[in-house]
Amino acid sequence: MIQMHDVTKSFDGVPVLNGVNYTLSHGEFAFLRGRSGSGKSTFLKLLYRESEREHGTILIDGTAIDALQKFELRRKMGIIFQSYELISQHTVLENVLIAGKALGRPLEEIEAEAMRLLTRVGLADKVHQFPNKLSGGQQQRVAIVRALLNKPKLLLADEPTGNLDRETAQDIMTLLYELHREEQMAMLIVTHSEELLTSGARVSVMEGGHIDE
């Protein structure tokens, strides 16, 4: 699902990623762990093309990332952010539907999928609420549903529990693992926390601009 070979990235002449090699298989659930500032977020930004690599190759689902238009990339992957990235003046349902509308999908189709997923994560009774009426855990569940709306083959999560208390964080991790199995997608969780690592999942470590298995 992800193939990265000898990828480099620097900012103002300072190397952040230095010859990174990484592979994530179809349907695999894996973690990338590293301290703050180790390059984890930069690594993810290269995958969803918020930033561009300097050298090396990146393939997503077997296709060179440069050959994919951004809308094609959005069909293949969903993204979850630490800060939820919800629009405050939109309801829960409206926040979720944005992902489908951006790709021009029929409204009836994406509303049905949104309600299926919101029901699955326990938010069927919150669809007309605004984000400021939700807890942090509920807001992250909305963000998860938004990321899943287009049925991606790959889900990227950047510190998805970073703003949550320990109990809520564990609940979110359990939900992500269950959704990984139910929706049959590859999932990469980027985190600095060892507490969140799921037993049996592959854990890679980013340090010094490299990834070690």
For the chain, the structural domain boundaries read 2-212
pLDDT number for residue 74:
85
Q: Is the pLDDT reported for residue 105 higher than 90?
A: no
Q: Is the pLDDT reported for residue 91 higher than 70?
A: yes
Q: Is the pLDDT reported for residue 79 higher than 90?
A: yes
pTM given for the model: 0.91
Q: What is the rounded CA–CA span in Å between residue 67 and residue 196?
A: 35
- Which CATH number applies to 2-212: 3.40.50.300, 3.40.640.10, 3.40.830.10, 3.90.1150.10? 3.40.50.300
What residue type is assigned to position 41 of the chain?
S
pLDDT number for residue 208:
87
pLDDT tens column, 123-168: 999 999 999 999 999 999 999 999 999 999 999 999 998 888 889 9
What is the rounded average pLDDT of the residues 168-195? 90
What is the rounded average pLDDT of the residues 41-63? 95
What residue type is assigned to position 133 of the chain?
K
- DSSP per residue over 161-211, as a string? TTTS-HHHHHHHHHHHHHHHHHHT-EEEEEES-STTPPTTSEEEEEETTEE
pLDDT band at 24 (very low <50, low <70, confident <90, very high): very high
What's the CA angle centered on 90, arms 168 and 144, to 5 degrees? 35
pLDDT number for residue 129:
98
What is the rounded average pLDDT of the residues 75-85? 91
pLDDT band at 38 (very low <50, low <70, confident <90, very high): confident
Q: Is the pLDDT reported for residue 199 higher than 70?
A: no
Q: Is the pLDDT reported for residue 171 higher than 80?
A: yes
